[in-house]
Chains A and B, each alone.
Chain A
């Protein structure tokens, strides 16, 4: 101190800053983190973008999922709006004819495994009601078509469909009249349609018939489909938040050097994650809005949607908007607990001890317990979705928690092996957490899919009905009520002449009754009269030797009551009344008719009654007769089904024409399966993207090391194999967890619905898909790996 100092007035002490409140500190640190993420230079932006794009993809999928309820509502509303308001199903409902009523018949057909819905319509008056989306009633031999059908008809190679729908296109059906943009639909005009030809009269559109409610089993399926598809998305978002974590930790270490404490660094990291998540929300929203514009042009497994139908449910959208940033912050804070960030850029893993099983294992077990205690589904009782959802979510997330422990426990035991194996296993030993995180999405998705497959398989019998059809005897069957008399025999001949047709079992059928006066309460003995060639009748009854002109009384097999009923009607040598209506034809059943036993036809229907060859009865003269054709084709003829359908449409556009299949799937069940396929594809692509980003991030971190390895002559193949092993080891372990967990969850769910496990080996296809993901991610990682193996990484100046 000097004298001069003495004379100087004492310097006023700098005012002590008032310590900010805890909330203010948190906000300040979060803000700092946001600033780092937003303006952290190229490195910072890469990290933020990685997170944001990852979160954005997840958010887009969640928004899509939250739009499904609205999509289904809109679709159902349009379907109801075009439903019929019938007047009467009676063929002679002429009294209700009006200026606006319309006579119409369903002419829906199939074309190359796609359904082409269609109606033939005839106006009763001058102002016929119009179906939704149709501006003008089509005239005779004209049709209005959906845009998808117009496009299909215009495409080359679809001549057979144009031949089947030989109407002039005079208009397009608007969106209001379509279920989805990909729907194939037409309304054709007619001036000849009659009630006798199968037409029925309608007063308008907009039936109030509600769709059938989902049975309890299907509700369980829908819940599981949602859980299985959305759980991996949640895991994907949680993984995306941690993209670029190592780089961020290094940056935070620099902050520690200038005095930030550990809590501050955690809050700053949370701020960065928050910004990434918020940016991800915006990117997700943008992806969703942009993707929605193109959704109308995309059709996967016959599923398409109008962009306007994809509107997220408001409550779900708000939930996504809140949950995603919150998850990002929580995941970051939890992740930061396992690292110690010190000054001087030292980032050391805080966890020296291994991962513990004791708190991980109870989570999936708790899920199974919830399912077992509260998830039981009764056949006719309403389903409580909450225990099923909670139980399944706990099991699936529990599997994701078990995986890091398993990967660590297994890779720590791996020793030796060739260089690529050694590089991969050592890398996994050093950071098994990152590898587990990348694979946890696959694990959850595969486990869920296995459980679902088991559930589907156990319900199969409930929703897949055995039809009794025998496709080896005939593959198609057609019925027509409007082709009668001479037309009937001609129609059968037309089928016989169709390209690719091998056998036509074509018969003309009418009712034959015992004549007499009957009281109102008495039932007139009636049976069927079937007329066909000997070959045809042989397919319907065990007639033995047969010549044209023969007739048979056919007893049903093993049914005494019906046999007696047939004998009551079909009295040999006696007169019968054939046909319905006012003027039945009288015909005498020849006394020499043989009695034989009936057969089941290719449709699975038993045949009995009276059978007559074409020489015995003139089929063309039978009143009220219908024709039934069962057709066997040569499958090797291309488009043989379309030739046969074209013949049917030519004979009678209203002919009911079906493809014979031994199994018939329930429509709701089938659409849930289709929904699962569509969703699973999207989720697996998301997971592949997540794994790829993690892989590329790791490679980027090791860029310099890769260059050094190349410098001393490491082969490309050595490093490629090491990347493969590095991906494969955790994925194989993940698949093992997924198979075990999926089988456990599947067995529990199957037990819940009171069914038996149908097949324990259903996991193979899903395990195969997981394997394919390994190969895909490895292959996609190779080009960047090879790029990073260039010597540029050695340059330090």
Chain B
């Protein structure tokens, strides 16, 4: 069932919202350091698949295994702890805490993990430098451009040294130039740190940065290389 060597794998996931099925037998897997694009039209269930894989929502049925552990067997608190320590997130918009400065935003996952403020902000600044936004540390999200904000969000996703980054339409609100730079920085940083990336997008241009595509249609994921 679980592809050999995979870090995160899902099998036969089903999820409905009221009478509307969002996932209808979807399966998926990702290996360490691999960048997988989840593609599909609007309303196909891409985001629901991502939320299930990240343990944000629980599927109605099916199994999700992360590093040999069954996600559905974990309590809400255990899944939250897993998200703090092993997962990172990048969303389309509205993800940075507006009242915190950029460096405080990047340091936030570390601080939630109990790292002291100064140490957390030191690490955050290193990641911001790598994402080419080191000059924005003291600015608030409202004072930076969309592309800069998205790079700050990528830095935040990487700051806590996660094993998997979940990116839901990370370039959806950016122009093509900014979008491509964000994708370059995200995938480069992830590959160099051996971090797996689950990238939800409906743009082929963005999906081109991935190692592999998975298409979701009517709640079913079609994994072209690791059919499970």
Contacts and interface: CB of A to CB of B under 8 A. Distances in A.
B47 A797 contact: yes
B176 interface: no
B97 A712 contact: no
Contact of B117 (A416, A426, A718): A416
A732 interface: no
Contact of B99 (A430, A709, A710, A796): A430
Contacts of A794: 47, 51, 56, 91, 168
Contacts of B109: 712-713
Interface string B98-132: 11100010001101100001000000000000000
B42 A797 contact: yes
B51 A705 contact: no
Nearest to B42: A797
Interface string A759-797: 000000000000000000000000000000001001111
A713 B104 contact: no
Interface string A679-719: 00000000000000000000000001100111111110010
A427 interface: yes
Contact of B92 (A416, A423, A713, A796): A796
Contact of B87 (A705, A712, A797): A712
Q: Which among B57, B94, B140 has the greatest number of chain A C-beta atoms within 10 A?
A: B94
B89 interface: yes
A419 interface: yes
A422 interface: yes
A708 B100 contact: no
A715 B82 CA distance: 12
B94 A704 contact: yes
Among all A-B residue pairs, the 8 with the closest Cβ atoms: A713-B84, A713-B83, A426-B99, A430-B99, A791-B56, A427-B99, A704-B94, A713-B80
A394 B94 CA distance: 43
A249 B24 CA distance: 41
Nearest to B156: A712
Contacts of A427: 99
B94 A422 contact: no
Given A422-B104, A430-B140, A796-B169, A712 B88 contact: yes
Nearest to A417: B117
A422 B100 contact: yes
Contacts of B89: 708, 711-712
A384 B71 CA distance: 75
Contacts of A673: none
A709 B169 CA distance: 17
Interface of B: 42-43, 47, 51, 54, 56-57, 77, 80-85, 87-89, 91-92, 94-95, 97-100, 104, 108-109, 111-112, 117, 140, 157, 168-169
Q: Which among A416, A431, A713, A795 has the greatest number of chain B C-beta atoms within 10 A?
A: A713
Interface residues of A, number: 25
A713 B99 contact: no
A429 interface: yes
Interface in A553-583: none
A712 B169 contact: no
Nearest to B82: A713
Q: Which among A416, A427, A714, A794 has the greatest number of chain B C-beta atoms within 10 A?
A: A794
A710 B88 CA distance: 12
A43 B142 CA distance: 24
Given A796-B92, A796-B168, 10 more contacts: A423-B100, A426-B99, A429-B99, A709-B97, A712-B87, A712-B157, A713-B80, A715-B77, A791-B51, A791-B57
B84 A426 contact: no
Contact of A419 (B42, B83, B111, B168): B111
Given A416-B117, A708-B91, A795 B47 contact: yes
A419 B112 contact: yes
B154 to A, nearest CB: 13
Q: Is the interface of A mostly helix, strand, loop or mixed?
A: helix
Interface string A605-646: 000000000000000000000000000000000000000000
Nearest to B85: A713
A712 B110 CA distance: 11
Contacts of A795: 47
Contacts of B82: 713
A708 B94 contact: yes
Nearest to B117: A416
Contacts of A431: 99
Nearest to A429: B99
Nearest to B41: A797
Interface of A: 416, 419, 422-423, 426-427, 429-431, 704-705, 708-715, 718, 791, 794-797
A416 B111 CA distance: 12
Q: Which among B42, B77, B83, B99 has the greatest number of chain A C-beta atoms within 10 A?
A: B99
Contacts of A423: 97, 99-100
A795 B168 CA distance: 10
A327 to B, nearest CB: 30
Nearest to A426: B99
A434 B89 CA distance: 31
Nearest to A416: B117
9 contacts: A419-B108, A423-B99, A430-B99, A708-B91, A711-B56, A713-B84, A714-B80, A794-B91, A796-B168
A697 to B, nearest CB: 16
Contacts of B47: 794-797
Contacts of A430: 98-99, 140
Given A423-B97, A430-B140, A714-B112, A797 B43 contact: yes
A711 B54 contact: yes
B79 to A, nearest CB: 8
B209 to A, nearest CB: 21
Contacts of B56: 710-711, 791, 794
A426 B104 contact: yes
B100 A426 contact: yes
Contacts of A426: 97, 99-100, 104
Q: Which among A712, A715, A795 has the greatest number of chain B C-beta atoms within 10 A?
A: A712
Contacts of B85: 713
Contacts of B111: 419, 422
Nearest to A430: B99
A129 to B, nearest CB: 73
B163 to A, nearest CB: 13
A447 B51 CA distance: 50
A783 to B, nearest CB: 16
A419 B83 CA distance: 17
A712 B16 CA distance: 23
Contacts of A791: 51, 56-57
A552 B3 CA distance: 114
Nearest to B86: A713
B221 to A, nearest CB: 17
Nearest to B108: A419
Contacts of B168: 794, 796
A797 B169 CA distance: 11
A246 to B, nearest CB: 12
Nearest to A714: B112
Contact of B81 (A710, A713, A796, A797): A713
A425 to B, nearest CB: 9
Nearest to B77: A715
A431 B82 CA distance: 33
A410 to B, nearest CB: 16
Contacts of B42: 797
A307 to B, nearest CB: 46
Contact of A705 (B94, B104, B140, B169): B94
B202 to A, nearest CB: 10
A712 B95 CA distance: 11
A304 to B, nearest CB: 49
A708 B166 CA distance: 12
B83 A712 contact: yes
Nearest to B166: A711
Contacts of A709: 97
A706 to B, nearest CB: 10
A715 B77 CA distance: 8
A704 B108 CA distance: 17
